[in-house]
């Protein structure tokens, strides 16, 4: 009983801290203390699986994997919205409303139109039971596991909430987090994501919820549906939802006339650029729910609501110069240098031109007056040329054919839009980029060494690759600019300490193209040592879960290169972790190689996730549905009868938790 109380108390506290931090934006505990409490809860939950709670705050870190998202019919359809673009459109709409309602006073709630992925959440007895994507409006995909990792989604409500209801809203990815994600992708040699909205929508459909947990998604709510809710207006609905613990933006405003609505629109058309996430308009809703009911729906959208779309902001300016950037992987990005111009509240001097095709398609030339737009993307883009203003002596842009940094002839691979510099080991930004990636926080995390120092060390001829870091001496670096006794010592110490970094992170640090953090983990787990990985063929690599042809080829290329092999042997010599350490291997085996298990029901001594982990750690696969390919069905308590029937009909052996443990031991 004591333990149960302790667990409940911790859950309650953590729910509250999550709420303070992610909904109210007002933390009352340090990150460290929060982590400690979370760890304590996780340890207790692990020891006492009998107190499992599907809505425990410990689930925020994710872990559950959804192989196939189930399609579920919405309790009430999720409609689209009608669009309007002018004062006249809104006035026409008001006339249509008044024809139906008669001559009554109509008030409107104005909200912002958040640009993300729509979501419908179902709550029962104050607990989140399901999250569905909008899908086609009639039915959506069950993405509950992923939704639970979003910190601003309450798992447990507070206050006077109704027994059962759905609440709708938008999953958004704030600009800042989006920019950070892209920075990491570029670092890993991956294409950056196009815009926050698509990335938010894509996140909801990731199979591994632990990956979703790492993304800084937010959930903004705006509408409750259900029966006997005891609510009278849209505005009250927003306030109520907020009081139960939902994140409901406070910008909503109650307006008494279309004129007031227009004032709201004008205000936000300008001020929206200060918001942390993308908005693409205003949603105007008839406030009274009684009125809403009378107005009803057309086949597509409610008659009681109207979206007012902001115009994408656009300006024109002169293109002064096209410059070319060389990334860590050698990819060339053309950049438009513009005559500075004010756009969406900031001064814009540069815009991305993406690649040679883009320049050719729009026939963009230096000296042109170009149209620049800022949409969901962070970096503004050029969307066209004002040909009426083209200077008479204008010349077509000739894309560079030599690397601007090292002069090597550029290459272009079929299917890749970008040119790249093939001089991997002689091109300065590629050399320093690789070393900077190697020392970065998620890779070797070398304290005392930063990106600028790497450039300095390279310029001074002290390092040419990351293995060189390990032979640096204090005497060599002390004479450098801005280098003091203390900082030199820290640098040497940081480098020396990095030999402790585990294999999977070393593998990521090597900077193999397309091998990001997750892929590095997968490869480390599958091959366990760099020697084994080095000997793997493309075909073998492609057998590893989620490793496709592109990654496999890149890995084979990397180890096929003499320079890399020499660097790796030097890293080995200084003692870097180039295989999985003994402790990690201790609980792993190949026992279940080639076997697929389906796990169903509730277990006595382990949680379902722990059971799955045991299977995977020992080389097995976890399947989501039973087929003739399933090796075993591990049946716990409360397993659905249909699973048993299915297993029996296709001849899959059914084993209990203790049978499984016996196999394992
Ligand atoms: P559309 O997809 O352009 O027809 O617009 C309808 C979508 O706008 C809805 O499905 C919602 O996902 C989204 N939306 C964003 N903000 C709001 C809001 N405040 N009220 C209603 N819908 C919104
Ligand atoms: Zn180059």
Distance in Å from the first CA to the final CA of the chain: 32
Cβ(80) – ligand 1 distance below 6 Å: yes
pLDDT score, position 346: 75
Best residue for ligand 1 mutational test, from 84, 170, 219 (most atoms within 8 Å of Cβ): 170
For ligand 1, atom 12: residue with the closest CA: 118
pLDDT for the residue numbered 586? 64
pLDDT band at 377 (very low <50, low <70, confident <90, very high): low
Annotated active-site positions, please? 113
Ligand 2 centre and the CA of 32: distance in Å?
44
Categorize the per-residue pLDDT at 378 as very low, low, confident or very high, splitting at 50, 70 and 90: low
Instruction: Provide the mean pLDDT of the chain.
Output: 90
- The reply to whether ligand 1 has any atom less than 6 angstroms from the CB of 201 is no
Q: Give the per-residue pLDDT at 226.
A: 92
What ligand is nearest to the CA atom of residue 419? Answer: 2
Distance CA 334, CA 398 (A): 12
Most confident of 397-411, 512-526, 629-643: 397-411
Distances (CA, A) of 290 to 28, 293, 521: 41, 5, 55
Predicted pLDDT at 376: 55
Say if residue 312's pLDDT is above 80: no
Over the stretch 15-33, which tens digit does the pLDDT of each residue have? Answer: 999 899 888 888 888 888 8
Q: What is the DSSP letter of 373?
A: E
Cα 429 to ligand 2 centre (Å) = 7
Q: Is the model's pLDDT at 336 over the cut of 70?
A: yes
pLDDT digits (tens, 9 = 90+) for 71-92: 999 999 999 999 998 899 999 9
pLDDT digits (tens, 9 = 90+) for 383-402: 889 998 999 899 999 999 99
- Residue with the smallest CA separation from ligand 1 atom 17 is 113
Residue 627 pLDDT = 85
Least confident of 49-53, 161-165, 621-625: 621-625
Atom 4 in ligand 1: residue holding the nearest Cα: 80
CB of 171 within 6 A of ligand 1: the answer is: no
Q: Counting ligands in written order, which one lies closest to the CA of residue 279?
A: 1
> How far does Cα 478 stand from its chain's mean position?
42
- 243 C-alpha vs ligand 1 centroid, how far in Å? 22
Q: Residue 381: what are its φ and ψ, rounded to 5°?
A: -130, 155
Atom of ligand 1 nearest to the CA of 117: 12
114 CB-near residues (< 8 Å, 6+ apart):
169, 170, 172, 220, 249, 277, 278, 279
- Convert the pLDDT of each residue in 236-246 to its tens digit: 999 999 999 99
Strands 313-326 and 305-309: unpaired
Among residues 227, 17, 10, 219, which one has the least CA distance to residue 128?
A: 219
Q: Tens digits of per-residue pLDDT, 566-606?
A: 999 999 999 999 998 766 666 777 788 888 999 988 888 88
pLDDT at site 29: 84
Give the separation between CA 106 and CA 287, rounded to whole angstroms: 7
Distance 124 CA to ligand 1 centre (A): 24
> Does 111 contact ligand 1 (Cβ within 6 A)?
yes
Verdict on whether the full-model pTM lies above 0.75 = no
The residue to which tokens 């689930």 are assigned: 59
| Ligand found nearest the CA of 331 | 2
Sheet containing strand 253-255, strands side by side: 83-84, 305-309, 279-286, 108-114, 253-255
- CA 323 to centroid of ligand 2, rounded, Å: 14
Sequential DSSP letters for 91-138: HHHHHHHHHHH-S----EEEEEEE-SEEEEEEEETTEEEEEEE-TTSS
pLDDT over 70 for what percent of the chain?
98
What is the phi/psi pair of residue 253, to 5°? -140, 140
Ligand 1: does its nearest atom lie under 6 Å from the Cβ of 567?
A: no
How does residue 288 score in pLDDT terms, banded at 50, 70 and 90?
Answer: very high
The model's confidence at residue 461, banded by pLDDT at 50, 70 and 90, is very high
Ligand 1: residue of 78, 113, 169, 219 to mutate (most ligand atoms within 8 A of CB) is 113
* CB of 283 sitting under 6 A from ligand 1: yes
| Main-chain phi, psi angles of 178, to 5 degrees | -60, -45
Write down the residue that tokens 């509240």 correspond to: 345
**Tokens matching residue 455:** 């450039």
Quick: pLDDT tens for 608-664: 778 888 888 888 888 878 888 889 999 988 887 788 888 888 888 899 998 898 888
Atom of ligand 1 nearest to the CA of 134: 10
Q: Which residues pair with 351 in a beta bridge?
A: 336
Ligand 2 center to 219 CA (angstroms): 43
Cβ of 118 less than 6 Å from ligand 1: yes
222 lines ligand 1 (CB under 6 A): yes
Q: For a pocket test of ligand 1, which of 74, 78, 108, 114 has the largest count of ligand atoms closer than 8 A to its C-beta?
A: 114
Ligand 1 pocket check for 308: Cβ under 6 Å: no
The pair of structure tokens assigned to 536 is 């793997």
**Ligand 1 atom closest to the CA of 301, numbered from 1:** 4
Distance, CA of 173 to CA of 423 (rounded, Å): 37
Task: Flag whether pLDDT at 232 surpasses 70.
Answer: yes
Task: Kindly give the distance from the C-alpha atom of residue 352 to the centroid of ligand 1, in angstroms, as a whole number.
Answer: 29
Q: Is 221 in the pocket of ligand 1 (CB under 6 A)?
A: no
């Amino acid at each position: 009983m004591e333990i149960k109380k302790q667990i409940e108390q911790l859950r309650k506290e953590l729910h509250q801290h999550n709420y303070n931090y992610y909904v109210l934006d007002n933390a009352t505990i340090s990150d460290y203390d929060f982590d400690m409490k979370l760890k304590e809860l996780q340890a207790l939950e692990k020891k006492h699986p009998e107190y499992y709670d599907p809505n425990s705050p410990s689930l925020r870190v994710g872990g559950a994997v959804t192989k196939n998202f189930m399609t579920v019919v919405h309790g009430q359809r999720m409609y689209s919205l009608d669009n309007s673009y002018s004062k006249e459109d809104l006035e026409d709409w008001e006339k249509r409303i008044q024809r139906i309602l008669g001559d009554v006073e109509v008030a409107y709630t104005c909200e912002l139109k958040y640009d993300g992925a729509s979501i419908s959440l179902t709550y029962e007895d104050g607990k989140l039971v399901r999250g569905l994507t909008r899908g086609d409006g009639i039915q959506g995909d069950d993405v509950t596991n992923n939704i639970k990792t979003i910190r601003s989604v309450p798992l447990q409500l507070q206050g006077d909430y109704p027994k059962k209801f759905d609440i709708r809203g938008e999953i958004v990815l704030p600009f800042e987090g989006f920019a950070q994600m892209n920075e990491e992708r570029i670092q890993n040699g991956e294409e950056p994501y196009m815009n926050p909205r698509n990335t938010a929508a894509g996140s909801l459909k990731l199979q591994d919820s632990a990956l979703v947990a790492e993304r800084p998604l937010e959930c903004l709510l705006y509408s409750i549906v259900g029966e006997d809710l005891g609510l009278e207006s849209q505005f009250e609905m927003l306030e109520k939802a907020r009081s139960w613990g939902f994140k409901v933006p406070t910008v909503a405003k109650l307006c008494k006339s279309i004129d007031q609505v227009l004032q709201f629109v004008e205000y936000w058309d300008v001020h929206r650029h200060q918001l942390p996430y993308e908005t693409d308009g205003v949603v105007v809703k008839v406030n009274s729910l009684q009125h809403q009911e009378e107005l009803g729906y057309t086949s597509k959208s409610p008659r009681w609501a109207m979206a007012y779309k902001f115009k994408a902001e656009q300006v024109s300016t002169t293109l002064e110069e096209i410059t070319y950037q060389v990334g860590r992987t050698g990819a060339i990005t053309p950049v438009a240098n513009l005559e500075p111009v004010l756009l969406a509240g900031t001064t814009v001097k540069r815009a991305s031109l993406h690649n040679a095709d883009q320049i050719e398609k729009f026939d963009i030339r230096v000296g042109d007056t170009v149209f620049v737009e800022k949409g969901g993307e962070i970096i503004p883009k050029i969307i066209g040329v004002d040909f009426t203003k083209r200077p008479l002596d204008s010349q077509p842009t000739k894309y560079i054919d030599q690397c601007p940094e090292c002069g090597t002839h550029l290459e272009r691979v079929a299917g890749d839009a970008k040119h790249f510099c093939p001089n991997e080991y002689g091109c300065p930004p590629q050399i320093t980029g690789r070393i900077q990636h190697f020392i970065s926080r998620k890779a070797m995390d070398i304290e005392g060494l930063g990106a600028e120092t790497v450039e300095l060390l390279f310029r001074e001829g002290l390092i040419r690759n990351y293995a060189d870091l390990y032979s640096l001496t204090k005497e060599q670096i002390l004479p450098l600019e801005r280098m003091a006794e203390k900082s030199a010592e820290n640098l040497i110490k940081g480098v020396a300490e990095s030999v402790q970094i585990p294999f999977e992170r070393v593998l990521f640090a090597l900077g193999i193209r397309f091998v990001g953090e997750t892929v590095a983990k997968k490869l480390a787990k599958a091959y366990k040592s760099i020697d084994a990985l080095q000997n793997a063929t493309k075909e073998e690599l492609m057998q590893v879960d989620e490793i496709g042809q592109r990654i496999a080829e890149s890995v084979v290329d990397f180890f096929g290169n003499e320079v890399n092999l020499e660097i790796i042997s030097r890293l080995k010599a200084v003692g870097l972790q180039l295989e999985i350490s003994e402790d990690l291997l201790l609980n792993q085996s190949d026992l279940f190689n080639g076997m697929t298990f389906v796990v169903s029901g509730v277990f006595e001594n382990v949680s379902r996730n722990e059971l799955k982990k045991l299977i995977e750690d020992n080389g097995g696969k976890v399947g989501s549905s039973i087929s003739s390919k399933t090796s075993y069905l591990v049946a716990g308590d409360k397993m659905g009868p249909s699973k048993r029937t299915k297993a029996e009909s296709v001849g899959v052996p059914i084993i209990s938790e203790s049978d499984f443990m016996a196999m394992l031991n």
